[in-house]
Amino acid sequence: MPISPRFLEAVSYAAALHGNQRRKFSGEPYLAHLLAVAAIVMEHGGDEDEAIAALLHDAAEDQGGPPTLAEIRRRFGEPVAQIVDGCTDTTDNPKPPWRPRKEAYLVHLPGASASVRLVSAADKLHNARSILREYRRHGESIWSLFRGGREGTLWYYRAVVESLKRSGSNALVEELGRAVTELEQLVRSTEPHRGTTGNAEN
């Protein structure tokens, strides 16, 4: 995919919107996540609109709601705005309760456009890889930073994989599935055991 001034403008806009944000478990600049998601999208054949949407996929949800989405539409066009909108599970502030919000997103995902599913899968893949890394570093303490806790987070990422597969699998969805499986197995391997049966606690 050729890199145009339009893409570079999107990098600059994402940096301006998210410049003060940090990743909640690692503390790294949030822009690193956005660039990583855009990179995954490009690695899996995404076009410029999809790569720009990857840079801005959290902009409406976390940085201004509908007015920000309108600005994205003005700057980068309707296709980008539609992808960002499709990757957004709420623009309400404060956000609705976590579980119903995620359940609604899971219902929406299989019928979303291929572009939305591409950006969503790339986002979740980078998140899953980041959670794996931080779990190896810090163990169970990381779950206190997630609204869904350990069980809710594991449920959600597995459910995203299954929702995406309902629209047909591909290399990116399979890679996401492998990352989620690795996370599940790592968490289970560190669970305490009861008695002499060797069965992990539920």
Residues 61, 71, 85, 123: which is the catalytic one? 61
Tell me the CA distances in angstroms from 30 to 14, 58, 65, 103, 152, one per residue in order.
10, 10, 18, 25, 23
Strand partners, 29: 22
Contact 15, 31 (CB under 8 A): yes
Question: Does 92 participate in catalysis according to the annotation?
Answer: no
- The catalytic position among 47, 62, 174, 175 is 62
Task: Verify whether residue 89 is a known catalytic residue.
Answer: no
Which residues does 183 contact at the CB level (< 8 Å), separation at least 6? 128, 131, 132, 135, 154, 157
Report whether 114 contacts 49 (CB < 8 A): no
Phi, psi of 25 (to 5 degrees): -100, -30
Task: Name the residues annotated as catalytic.
Answer: 61-62
